[in-house]
Structure 1
Amino acid sequence: MESLKGLLVFSASILCFLSFSSLSFASFTPIDCFLISCGSSKSIQVQDGRVFEPDFGDTDVGLSTNSLITVSNNEKNSLLSEIHNSARVFTKSSVYTISTKQIGRHWLRLHFYPVKSNQHNLKSAVFSVVANGITLLHEFSFSRLGKKEPLLKEYVVEIGGSSSKSENLVLTLSPVGSSVAFINGIEVVSMPEGQFDFSVIPIPMGPGFVIPSSVALETAYRVNMGGPRLTPRNDTLWRTWNSDHTFLFNPSSARNVAKDPKSVKYPADGESVDIAPNYIYATAQEMADAKVMDQKFNITWAFQVEKGFTYFIRMHFCDIVSVSLNNLIFDVYINNQTAVESFDISTKTMALSAAYFMDFVVNMSTGSDKIFIQVGPSNLRTTQANAILNGLEIMKMSNPSNSLDGKVAIYSINSIRSDAKKHVKLAIFATLGGLAGLLLVSASCFLCFVCFRKPKMVKQKSMTWLMVKQKSMSWLSFPNQVGISETKISAGSFASMTPSRTFGRIFAFAEIREATKDFDESLVIGVGGFGKVYKGVLEDGVMVAVKRGNGKSQQGLVEFRTEIEMLSKLRHRHLVSLIGYCEELNEMILVYEFMAGGPLRKHLYGSDFPHLSWKQRLEICIGAAKGLHYLHTGASECIIHRDVKTTNILLDENLTAKVADFGLSKFGPALDQTHVSTAVKGSFGYLDPEYYRRQQLTEKSDVYSFGVVLMEVLCARSAINPSLPREQVNIAEWAMHWQKKGQLEQIIDPYLVGKVSIDSLRKYGETAEKCLAEYGCERPSMGDVLWNLEYVLHLQAAARQSLEEENSNIIPDIPYSIPRVESGEADEIDIVSHGESDVTTSSGVFSQLMNPKGR
């Protein structure tokens, strides 16, 4: 019944669009508009009314070769446009030179379809295409696409600008080897001024910047959320917008809404019908069962992309669902990173049904090959739960090798910024270089003079300076580089803290003593190899965890500095935050946010905590996976935790998981490396066997450790338990034995028996098995692990919903023959306690992919 209702609503929206098909746009007249039919001998009018002219005979369109091969298709095919019935074929590298009038960015659209030919098999032709020095296609072959319909490739390239190599568009088609090249149609259209000259926000978040015009773009996806496919007839810039239904991960999580396109307004600077037609803003996807207060799921779209590139993302918003301003507040996520928090469209537009867009860039050099776009209700809202998205554009950006295709070097967001400032920097460096040389000569003369006149004084001052330098380096030489934050700190929590050169506050030792009541033993909440951890309360009432180094500990200054250095670069909702440190009296003290829930392990076994439900366990694992995924891909450099275990996953009072203890962390391999060679460190039972054998560390070592955590969460027992029979001592080996037999349900926590859906457990076991693969190259990235865990949660929610109708999809009760053994491993460090806290922190926001009714 629900699916029929959804179908009727969607049909109604399509009828709404059809009824307004006669709407006229504010016409854009481009200065350059070349519509070329390659190989045709006559003008061709396509369905949207545009006319394509032949490529031979136009004085503004030149071809470098006189050896022209034309092929045409006499068979009528209703699926093909007439421009796909002919093609120009080249047996050697050939060039189209198109003389344009306007300088700047242009749309470049190339049409390909292998017309039947008696001489050449165009379907298997292999060739490359370059436009003004930008590689658009590298060794392209239509046969590799596995499709029968024509291919349209759309690009944005600069013509005649400061970075362009030509005042014209120079399009080169080069056959590979003895093959041929072909093309059916070419569109070169100048675009409205400033179409892509808006500030973009990098994800993970950082300072905004404008994409240099030297960077070419290729359209990967252009999507109309909640509406039908739009053809060039409906767009002033002759763009095509596809329906979003094939990209929705869980269609039942969203419902399409539509409004009269005439009601859409373009009130703000920058927004115009050329950015996106009103048809796009007049439809949207909103949360299914919207406006229900306790809804906490996200709408998720997934898009397959090519790894190794940076992608430009433009999101289109228009509040067509509210009846008043400030009534729609939601969060936006890109690849599980917060892109916009507590977003209220009406504060930007000051009107309802008003168009608004935002631009982002995301680097896909590592991790998953999918871009996930999500919208969901904000935790900070006071309104009913809802979230919408109207339209989306995803475009690949050319890399430093000026390529949009093939195996390429990683194009970091920082390199984009640097391109925009390259010429300015060169001038500055040239000037500074001259001044530096002059100062160096002067300083040398001065030092020589001083050394000859007062050698003893110089030596004494040098020694004093060296001592001061050595003392300060141990603490104050850490970079003040803060990463992206999904962490929501309650107002005023840390507002009074004094900024320092590192990320955090420098505490006086007297403050620490007062906060911990002179290190009262009754406040000890954890003891580990490094020292003791105390519960403390600062002057302003903020509760903290104080980690005091033990002078006799084998863990010392190196691990201490590592912890500060790592946390000074990181800020994320699922990483424990460093508040500050103390450097007085040779003390090594770190101060963290207090996690009232304590370590995950104590919620699984060995304490009197209430049992965690399967849903709670999955949400905790998802949170921890988000934190690790951010470490691997979200920070400026890949960070490998190296000590992932259940005591280093801490919970707040809302059971939101945060990864802690970065004392053993290492920066990951550089771009030209596959691993980091280092001494083996970690915790027994969680250690990656490949890392142990080869002493070669990669982020996949964290993935293995996380696989052990997954099994620990499922079975509620320690990773290593020597008191059990030999085959059961190691949880990874024991669990994999049952997983490969397809009987993982035999060893799960007795509390979960009868409460976990078969499909959810099966997917969970498969995910853990991949994490525990023998070799790192066989293990998934943390991004893929995160995606799979969210799907596990979705399967459990779906089973819970179907349980209301039939009770046949739940694992039956089974005898649990394995004794539960309390575990207390001396080498584990509990950083914070499970004690009660009166500090209010934001509740967790999980990007759950699930049927909303399952909640």
Structure 2
Amino acid sequence: MLTPDTQKDSNTLNLVKLFCNCVLRFEVKGIIAYKLVFSVLVVFLFLVNASFALYIPLDNYLISCGSSQNITFQGHTYIPDSQYSSLVSQTGDSIVAISNSSVVPFPIYQSARIFTQKASYTFEIEQEGRHWVRLYFYPVPNSDHDLNSSVITVVADEFVLLSNFTFRNYNGLYMFKEYAINVTSVTLTLTFIPSNGSITFVNAIEVVSMPDELFIDQALALNPPAPFSGLSELAFETVYRLNVGGPLVNAQNDTLGRTWESDMKYLHMNSSVTIVSVSPSTIKYPAGVTPETAPNWVYATADAMGDANVADSNFNITWVFPVDPNFSYFIRVHFCDIISKSLNSLLFNLFINTDIALGNLDLSSLTNDLAVPYYKDFVSNVSAGSETLTVSVGPDTMADITNATLSGLEIMKISNALKSFDGFSSAVSLLPNSPSNKKKMGLVAGFIGAIAAIALVGLCYCCFVGRNSKSTQQGRPLLSLPSLYGNFQTMSMMSTTSHKSATASCISLSSINLGRIFTFQEIQDACNKFDERLLLGVGGFGRVYKGTLDNGTNVAVKRGNASSEQGIAEFRTEIDMLSKLRHRHLVSLIGYCDERSEMILVYECMSNGPLRSHLYGTDLPPLSWKQRLEICIGSARGLHYLHTGASQSIIHRDVKTTNILLDDNFVAKVADFGLSKTGPSLDQTHVSTAVKGSFGYLDPEYFRRQQLTEKSDVYSFGVVLMEVLCSRPALNPALPRDQVNIAEWAMNWQKKGMLDKIIDQKLIGNVNSASLKKFGETAEKCLAEYGVDRPSMGDVLWNLEYALQLQETASSALMEPEDSSTNHIIGIQLTPQNFDNGLHMTDEGTSATNDDDAGHASTSVVFSELVNPHAR
């Protein structure tokens, strides 16, 4: 970070460079215009002495496309692109459209440059580093072209900014886009590509350099918390920039030309805040924070806690933002304590989604004064099952003053693995003939050629082995999964149009009976070419569609997303795990497809969807207490089988209510094995592995020590039990601090013996007290802090069956027992605990490895995870 003195030196150096550039560029017939140079020098000296914080960008292109004259907008002058011929190289046929219509929203939109073929602007770059790239679009009325129907694709060097955008599908009159791109060469090229024989256009362009220190290379990643580096290699798109507690701050009042909008429309509850403001002149910038970080107009206003008319005063202020769930986001929060009267009196927490981003935050201890700006950067994804990103501040329970504050907020979309902000397009695919991409394409072609050669050798080897093998191995060759996204081997050896999946290639996954291998054509036919009307949901792996096979079987089709955080590892794990497992309470894998660079999984269709949707968030009829117990028992049986039914235990690692699916008879099945892990061997106590799972369900001991055991699944299942009982999410940052985490909150009531006070309102009066007591005790044991204190899934299963028997006995009016011992009640026949060789408790008197359920593979409806696991 720069100190004020070094910042002054840096800005002075910028001004010197600007002055030198003026001297070098302004020549009139070979003679330097001395009067002009003298005028520039006077201005230069004035600026140096006037304000050390003023940033003068070395690159400052403000272009009005298609205009014949200068245009002034928000205090800045935009020059016609036709006058930039010496600095901007524009290629491709173009047409100028100018409108004098009164409906033009701002002067910047009154003209446009229309391109009938691919065209580009090439900007000379004086200062390498981050640059703002701002694009203005408004379909100017034109008699020759309907700009509303134009299809716009924009590429900036290696980054795809827009792909196939059209105003036909846009709910707005005009569009402004802002990107932050790290330019590492002497030029920046913006290419506009018409799509599908259409045209494209742009109204105005800005390419402006920014201070190097504005975005550093690191931030704090959440889920789980860890340093995140490498931001300089990524591009950002501004999605939201808020002046919290204040009015609109436009580009004219920001030293970097940014716009800060009011936060009011994003507040979850407007009545929960009090707006606080001071004079901007009272803001005291510390070392490392300047007006370029955020203007004093932003730090001089804030939201603080108001009267939210709630029972508990320890609530959170929450802002909710619709976002694209398929991307990660750079989040910068701005604080300035303008509400405190003294130091060390304000202590609060910051939440991003369901994660504690900053805990016990005392601004004055960081800044040593009041009214001093402070900011922090984070990288996060959206919450599981959501298309929104939430930011919350709330008081710490240890604070003397119940309050929290926020001054500003910036949310930026981060470019994906394809260096794109929009879909699956990449610059390489859109601009294959560009010099930089030809080299990349050559490398890719060479790589594919090498893969094809290896595949050919493998094919010959398999055919040779197949002819000489005396065993019945036809259709059962070696396991082979794609080393990249998609299986080049399978692609090179399987027909994608003619032959059916029953005749798989010899280097397919069918070698170990992994189910049916589908061709991509079969998948398309089953899903009606991925008709959006058949979309069941969007998850971390990709989109999920309902499909119908050629034999009439309904299936759920999970299609991998190339930009997803999950990929080949989860694809392989899911297939590998489910190929070994068959149980009535585990979702069945029907088959897969790995051709045409696709990763697609086909599951039995679970018609009643995830358990969570029957607990809250939908209008579905509520489940009875008996139904909930039966669902919990079925899930426990599935997990018990995972832990004990195979030759080596399997730990699910992502047990939650979205991964428990219900068929048409409400039979529960555990789903989503993408994170599953083989358990410890007999001579081990745990498996050491990186933490994966979903926040709110994570075993705290596993999170702290990165040591995974079957008891980690038991803890997660304990959270599920409380979720089933209370019908609320595992984490809800919109609630008061002591209620955010359901495990902590419910355990407090359980320990007081008052669990009945927090059960789902729809269950009141319908739950037998003894059944509830046994259920609560079971959940409490599951949620023990240390794994050694938790029961096995077999013990959990037995106790849940006991709770169900208590409920059924009460329902039949035979008796309503008060279970004081929790061991046995006269008159109730209990299911005995049977043990197999003293090692594994069996299910209903049968061997765990020979469970009647194990061979049952019913075909019923939606597979695993329709939502993105938050902590992946």
Report the TM-score when normalising by structure 2: 0.49
Call closer, same or farther: CA 1:779–1:717 in 2, change over 3 Å.
farther
Matched, 1:373 2:400: no
Residue 100 of structure 2 is matched in structure 1 by 74
Call closer, same or farther: CA 1:143–1:657 in 2, change over 3 Å.
farther
Say which of 203, 209, 219 aligns to 1:200.
219
Residue 30 of structure 1 is matched in structure 2 by 57
Matched, 1:284 2:309: no
Cα distance in 2 between the residues matched to 1:608 and 1:577: 19
Code of the residue aligned with 1:344 in structure 2: it is D
Residue 261 of structure 2 is matched in structure 1 by 242
Code of the residue aligned with 2:403 in structure 1: it is N
Code of the residue aligned with 1:301 in structure 2: it is W
- Contact kept, 8 Å, 1:34 with 1:188, in 2: the verdict is yes
Call closer, same or farther: CA 1:325–1:592 in 2, change over 3 Å.
farther
Cα distance in 1 between the residues matched to 2:311 and 2:52: 39
Code of the residue aligned with 1:390 in structure 2: it is S
Instruction: Report deviation, 1:295.
Output: 2.4
- Contact kept, 8 Å, 1:106 with 1:158, in 2: the verdict is yes
Residue 569 of structure 1 is matched in structure 2 by 691
- Contact kept, 8 Å, 1:125 with 1:179, in 2: the verdict is yes
- Contact kept, 8 Å, 2:152 with 2:194, in 1: the verdict is yes
Cα distance in 2 between the residues matched to 1:686 and 1:589: 17
| Structure 1: gaps of 5 or more residues | 1-22, 410-548, 582-586, 621-644, 666-680, 688-711, 727-773, 787-855
Call closer, same or farther: CA 1:69–1:718 in 2, change over 3 Å.
farther
Alignment of 1:182-221 (within 5 A): 182-197=201-216, 199-221=218-240
Alpha-carbon deviations, 1:82-101, whole Å to 9, x = none?
12011000010011111121
- Contact kept, 8 Å, 1:94 with 1:172, in 2: the verdict is yes
Matched, 1:143 2:168: yes
Code of the residue aligned with 1:403 in structure 2: it is S
Matched, 1:173 2:192: yes
Cα distance in 2 between the residues matched to 1:279 and 1:659: 55
Alpha-carbon deviations, 1:479-499, whole Å to 9, x = none?
xxxxxxxxxxxxxxxxxxxxx
- Contact kept, 8 Å, 1:254 with 1:286, in 2: the verdict is yes
Code of the residue aligned with 1:362 in structure 2: it is S
SS of structure 2 residue aligned to 1:187: strand
- Contact kept, 8 Å, 1:98 with 1:170, in 2: the verdict is yes
Residue 347 of structure 1 is matched in structure 2 by 365
Call closer, same or farther: CA 1:719–1:94 in 2, change over 3 Å.
farther
SS of structure 2 residue aligned to 1:169: strand
Cα distance in 2 between the residues matched to 1:570 and 1:129: 36
Residue 132 of structure 1 is matched in structure 2 by 157
Instruction: Report deviation, 1:27.
Output: 2.6
Alignment of 1:759-778 (within 5 A): 775-776=861-862
Residue 21 of structure 2 is matched in structure 1 by none
Instruction: Report deviation, 1:194.
Output: 1.5
Matched, 1:358 2:376: yes
Say which of 121, 138, 141 aligns to 1:116.
141
Cα distance in 2 between the residues matched to 1:126 and 1:256: 43
Cα distance in 1 between the residues matched to 2:88 and 2:713: 70
SS of structure 2 residue aligned to 1:238: coil
Instruction: Report deviation, 1:718.
Output: 7.7
Instruction: Report deviation, 1:297.
Output: 1.1
- Contact kept, 8 Å, 1:302 with 1:372, in 2: the verdict is yes
Residue 155 of structure 1 is matched in structure 2 by 179
SS of structure 2 residue aligned to 1:386: coil
Residue 401 of structure 1 is matched in structure 2 by 418
Alpha-carbon deviations, 1:138-166, whole Å to 9, x = none?
11112211212x2110001122x1xxxx5
Cα distance in 2 between the residues matched to 1:36 and 1:177: 27
Cα distance in 2 between the residues matched to 1:210 and 1:332: 22
Alpha-carbon deviations, 1:240-289, whole Å to 9, x = none?
111111111111222211111111111132x1100100111111111114
- Contact kept, 8 Å, 1:600 with 1:651, in 2: the verdict is no
- Contact kept, 8 Å, 1:309 with 1:365, in 2: the verdict is no
Alpha-carbon deviations, 1:724-782, whole Å to 9, x = none?
579xxxxxxxxxxxxxxxxxxxxxxxxxxxxxxxxxxxxxxxxxxxxxxx843698649
Residue 230 of structure 1 is matched in structure 2 by 249
Call closer, same or farther: CA 1:348–1:59 in 2, change over 3 Å.
same
Residue 436 of structure 2 is matched in structure 1 by none
- Contact kept, 8 Å, 1:648 with 1:659, in 2: the verdict is no
- Contact kept, 8 Å, 2:384 with 2:868, in 1: the verdict is no
Instruction: Report deviation, 1:209.
Output: 3.6
Alignment of 1:247-262 (within 5 A): 247-262=266-281
Matched, 1:392 2:409: yes
Cα distance in 1 between the residues matched to 2:723 and 2:189: 63
Alignment of 1:49-68 (within 5 A): 49-65=75-91, 67-68=93-94
Instruction: Report deviation, 1:218.
Output: 0.4
Code of the residue aligned with 2:130 in structure 1: it is R
Code of the residue aligned with 2:247 in structure 1: it is P
Code of the residue aligned with 1:384 in structure 2: it is I
Call closer, same or farther: CA 1:49–1:591 in 2, change over 3 Å.
closer
Call closer, same or farther: CA 1:31–1:553 in 2, change over 3 Å.
closer
SS of structure 1 residue aligned to 2:298: helix
Code of the residue aligned with 2:780 in structure 1: it is L
Instruction: Report deviation, 1:400.
Output: 1.7
364-373 vs 341-350, which moves further: 364-373
Instruction: Report deviation, 1:578.
Output: 3.6
Instruction: Report deviation, 1:106.
Output: 0.4
- Contact kept, 8 Å, 2:160 with 2:425, in 1: the verdict is no
Alpha-carbon deviations, 1:49-92, whole Å to 9, x = none?
11000001313443443632001112124x62212011000010
Residue 119 of structure 2 is matched in structure 1 by 94
Alignment of 1:784-799 (within 5 A): none
Instruction: Report deviation, 1:104.
Output: 1.0
Residue 333 of structure 2 is matched in structure 1 by 315
- Contact kept, 8 Å, 1:44 with 1:83, in 2: the verdict is yes
Identical-pair percentage: 34
Cα distance in 2 between the residues matched to 1:349 and 1:43: 45
Residue 67 of structure 2 is matched in structure 1 by 40
- Contact kept, 8 Å, 2:133 with 2:206, in 1: the verdict is yes
Instruction: Report deviation, 1:206.
Output: 3.2
Cα distance in 2 between the residues matched to 1:580 and 1:147: 45
Alpha-carbon deviations, 1:108-166, whole Å to 9, x = none?
00000000011110011112100012000011112211212x2110001122x1xxxx5
Q: Figure out how many residues of one structure are paired with residues of the other and give that number.
A: 491
Instruction: Report deviation, 1:577.
Output: 3.6
Cα distance in 1 between the residues matched to 2:145 and 2:206: 25
Residue 766 of structure 1 is matched in structure 2 by none
Call closer, same or farther: CA 1:84–1:555 in 2, change over 3 Å.
closer
Call closer, same or farther: CA 1:241–1:362 in 2, change over 3 Å.
same
Instruction: Report deviation, 1:576.
Output: 4.7
Code of the residue aligned with 1:44 in structure 2: it is I
- Contact kept, 8 Å, 1:649 with 1:657, in 2: the verdict is no
SS of structure 1 residue aligned to 2:91: coil
SS of structure 1 residue aligned to 2:169: helix
Cα distance in 2 between the residues matched to 1:152 and 1:591: 47
- Contact kept, 8 Å, 1:685 with 1:719, in 2: the verdict is no
| Structure 2: gaps of 5 or more residues | 1-49, 427-639, 652-677, 681-685, 727-745, 764-774, 814-859
Call closer, same or farther: CA 1:306–1:579 in 2, change over 3 Å.
closer
Instruction: Report deviation, 1:602.
Output: 13
Residue 555 of structure 2 is matched in structure 1 by none
Cα distance in 1 between the residues matched to 2:711 and 2:788: 19
Call closer, same or farther: CA 1:365–1:119 in 2, change over 3 Å.
farther
Cα distance in 2 between the residues matched to 1:408 and 1:682: 49
Call closer, same or farther: CA 1:102–1:75 in 2, change over 3 Å.
same
